Structure 1
Amino acid sequence: MTTRATLPAPTNDLERAEHDLEEHGICAVTDVLEGETLRAVKDGLYAAAAADRTWGREERFAADYAHDETNQRVWNVLSRGPVFENLAAHPTALRLVRSRLGWPMLLGNLSANITGPGGGEMMVHADQRFLQEPWPAEPQGANAAWCVDDFTVDNGATRFVPGSHLLNRSPRPEDDTSSVPMEAPAGSLVVFDSRLWHQTGFNRTADRRRAAVFGWYTRTMYRPQENWFLSLDPAVVQFASEELLVLLGYKTYGFGMVNGRSPR
């Protein structure tokens, strides 16, 4: 398998980011979240994670990690505060994801992953592994990953196998799955297509956590990971923008009509 040795560098040029996403299957845009907005996202996420621990709802994925259980998943962050609604339908995220998936599309999930000190690496995988191979030539989904903290090689920045999206399949035992960390400052947005192999990095720090919020988007023929109709806070739908209603499947584009008409 032939791959690129490096990942495209983070940029604040959206046209450059679109080019990187098309060519390399990944791009990183800096300074998308800044100041009070970034602080609100960070405070809201860590508060939600702490609440899950307090109430015994903490989710860990020891089976997918090689070393220990320090990684915490926070599901359905869309229901954890209005600041996360803004991430799900953020103009920069939608512009980049739409460049690969078109419109309309669906939001399959909005969750977060927090890796703590000593947190182990996740297995190398592609998010499109739910599809039977051979895969279509175009990605069927994409992730918009929000860097809540600085992403560094030491604190477990997500690692990618450059060029792996061009193979249009999941990794196999005989593949070279050497991965490269995508390092980016807090407030950056990393978008990558569903064919690109990746893994959570190894957090080698003694006292730093690394958090990210992941928006998972797909073409409209795929069911969401999260059952929004059962799990979503009704207030989110009540005050949702038209774009967010489309993403959640509350329009004909998503799950069909209601009595012959588009819902809402």
Structure 2
Amino acid sequence: MVASRPSLGYTWIVHEVLDELGVRSDLLAPQQLSDLDELGYCRFDGFLTGDQLDAALGEIEALLRVSGRQGGTLHLKGLLEAGKMFDPLWLRPTLLAAVRHLLGPEFRISEMHYRAGKPDHGGQALHMDTPERAEPGRWQVCNAIVALTAFTPDNGATRVVPGSHLDYGFVPPRGHEDHPDQVLLLGPAGTAWLFNSHLWHSGTVNRSRATRHAVLTGFHRRDGGTALLDRQPSNATIERLGSAAYLLM
């Protein structure tokens, strides 16, 4: 399904939904707003509590046991419907306020997936998550990444090139090579970042001896030309989240 331009009536409903979820622009610090605009990403310290981390990691371990054989980078999809332990990773007024700042109020959550690079794996070439170039006021996609274990300089932390979302002549390096302006997203377990998916970014190779665990949640602007998931959430998910959160799906 391809998103079409919402009607004025729908726009009003979206504003009501965000109000009901407690989403306000004053939830974000001035530095976070500046970072989103100028750098292309912002940071949320202490985004998850220890109990929330344990619940998410415990469920991920259980899902991995039944998911079948995995390669050097572990993947799990469909976490939006996997259970309540994943709700705190996205259903947060501060995070949704940052998404609204980037995409405007007419956005939807499109996916939530787990990605974890095992030792000596996880590296990617710098890329954007959409082939479409955009500009302020017309950004189409953004992603939240939550560190379920600490992101360190040697365990495969995500790298970004600050400001590259505004550089329409940006030329990425070849293959997995470093870029001179790249920055690693580093922080303890429970830290989260929201980044504009028009920003050049990638995973890096895990040089440590332990797997680096993270969950990524994607958001799309509804009036763009990006293909969105059209699978309806289950009745159990709708009942768990409530009508306001369901309308964001």
Q: TM-score, normalising length from structure 2?
A: 0.78
Q: Does the CA contact (< 8 Å) of 1:21 and 1:27 recur in 2?
A: yes
Q: How do 1:163-178 residues align onto structure 2 when only pairs under 5 Å count?
A: 163-168=163-168, 171=171, 177-178=179-180
User: 1:114: which partner in 2?
Assistant: 116
Gaps of 5+ in 1: 1-12, 59-68, 249-264
Structure 2: distance between partners of 1:169 and 1:141: 19
User: 1:30: which partner in 2?
Assistant: 45
Q: How many residues align?
A: 218
User: 1:256: which partner in 2?
Assistant: none
Cα deviation 1:165-198 (Å, max 9, x = unaligned): 1124775568984432111111011110021101
User: 2:246: which partner in 1?
Assistant: 245
Q: Does the CA contact (< 8 Å) of 1:76 and 1:226 recur in 2?
A: no
Q: Among residues 207, 220, 223, which one is paired with 2:222 in the alignment? A: 220
Q: Among residues 94, 104, 107, which one is paired with 2:106 in the alignment? A: 104
Q: Does the CA contact (< 8 Å) of 1:89 and 1:243 recur in 2?
A: no
Q: Does the CA contact (< 8 Å) of 2:157 and 2:186 recur in 1?
A: yes
Q: Does the CA contact (< 8 Å) of 1:146 and 1:189 recur in 2?
A: yes
Q: How do 1:1-264 residues align onto structure 2 when only pairs under 5 Å count?
A: 14-53=29-68, 58=70, 69-129=71-131, 131=132, 134-137=133-136, 138-168=138-168, 171=171, 177-178=179-180, 179-206=182-209, 208-222=210-224, 225-229=228-232, 232-248=233-249
Higher relative contact order (CA 8 A, sep 6+): 2
SS at match of 1:239: helix
Structure 1: distance between partners of 2:189 and 2:173: 34
Measured after TM superposition, the shift of residue 43 of structure 1 is: 1.6
Cα deviation 1:184-224 (Å, max 9, x = unaligned): 11101111002110111110012x11111111001112456
CA 1:33–1:210: 2 relative to 1, 3 Å? same
Cα deviation 1:141-176 (Å, max 9, x = unaligned): 111111111001111000111221112477556898
Gaps of 5+ in 2: 1-27
CA 1:212–1:173: 2 relative to 1, 3 Å? closer
Amino acid across the alignment from 1:51: V
Amino acid across the alignment from 1:74: L
Q: TM-score, normalising length from structure 1?
A: 0.74
Measured after TM superposition, the shift of residue 86 of structure 1 is: 3.1
Structure 2: distance between partners of 1:82 and 1:27: 25
Q: Does the CA contact (< 8 Å) of 2:155 and 2:212 recur in 1?
A: yes
Measured after TM superposition, the shift of residue 51 of structure 1 is: 2.2
User: 1:251: which partner in 2?
Assistant: none
Q: Does the CA contact (< 8 Å) of 1:148 and 1:213 recur in 2?
A: yes
